[in-house]
Amino acid sequence: NAGVTQTPKFRVLKTGQSMTLLCAQDMNHEYMYWYRQDPGMGLRLIHYSVGEGTTAKGEVPDGYNVSRLKKQNFLLGLESAAPSQTSVYFCASRPGTLYYNSPLHFGNGTRLTVT
């Protein structure tokens, strides 16, 4: 029972480099989310998806792109990394429409450093 799996766990990038963070869930959840966590800021929503092939912007979407080609996967891309994107990134998922009070299931995070 893997739940939500994020890869990689750690990554160091140089300014201007690109990378993709992968999130996979095996719970058949409709909704998936990408958050970033920074000290004193809590978790801020980057992008989310309410189903395969759909994505939407969250609170802090600039500099990121996402794709949901398969229901179980949600990819977060950084096209040109900046030091301000140094953060811990969390993926989460939950069941869809009828389950607004269902909790999020979180991955263990990806720690990204941009130098």
Partner 1 sequence: AQSVTQLGSHVSVSEGALVLLRCNYSSSVPPYLFWYVQYPNQGLQLLLKYTSAATLVKGINGFEAEFKKSETSFHLTKPSAHMSDAAEYFCAVTPAGGTALIFGKGTTLSVSS
User: Which residues of this chain interact with partner 1, rule CB under 8 A?
Assistant: 4, 31, 33, 35, 40-45, 48, 50, 58, 90, 92, 100-101, 103-104, 106-109
Q: Tell me the CA distances in angstroms from 73 to 24, 35, 78, 115, one per residue in order.
A: 5, 15, 17, 28
Of 17 and 111, nearer to partner 1 (C-beta) is: 111
Question: Phi and psi for 43 in degrees, rounded to 5?
Answer: -105, 130
Q: Cβ of residue 38: shortest distance to partner 1, in angstroms?
A: 10
- To partner 1, the closest distance from the beta carbon of 79 in angstroms equals 23
Q: How far is the CB of 17 from partner 1 (least distance, A)?
A: 25
Q: Would you call 22 exposed, middle or buried from its count of C-beta atoms within 10 A (0-12, 13-18, 19+)?
A: middle
